[in-house]
Amino acid sequence: MGKNSCIQCSIKECKHHDMAENYCTLNQIKVGTHETHPTKIECTDCESFIFRG
């Protein structure tokens, strides 16, 4: 799969990272939170993340 130029991503440890550029290869992603009432960027998560391991 190639990059999705609509989804920028700098997480190279993710299976969906383009590796050639800082983009995701998915058609869409799911963004969520691990907080009850998120108020900062640190409270949000890409729920489409899969460890490249």
Say if residue 1's pLDDT is above 80: no
Note whether 18 and 3 are within 8 A (CB): yes
Q: Which residue has the higher pLDDT, 1 or 31?
A: 31
Convert the pLDDT of each residue in 2-49 to its tens digit: 999 999 999 999 999 999 999 999 999 999 999 999 999 999 999 999
Whole-angstrom distance, CA of residue 23 vs CA of residue 12: 9
Q: What is the pLDDT of residue 3?
A: 97
Note whether 6 and 29 are within 8 A (CB): no
Q: What is the DSSP string of 8-43?
A: E---TTBTTB-SSSSEE-SS---EEESSSS--SGGG
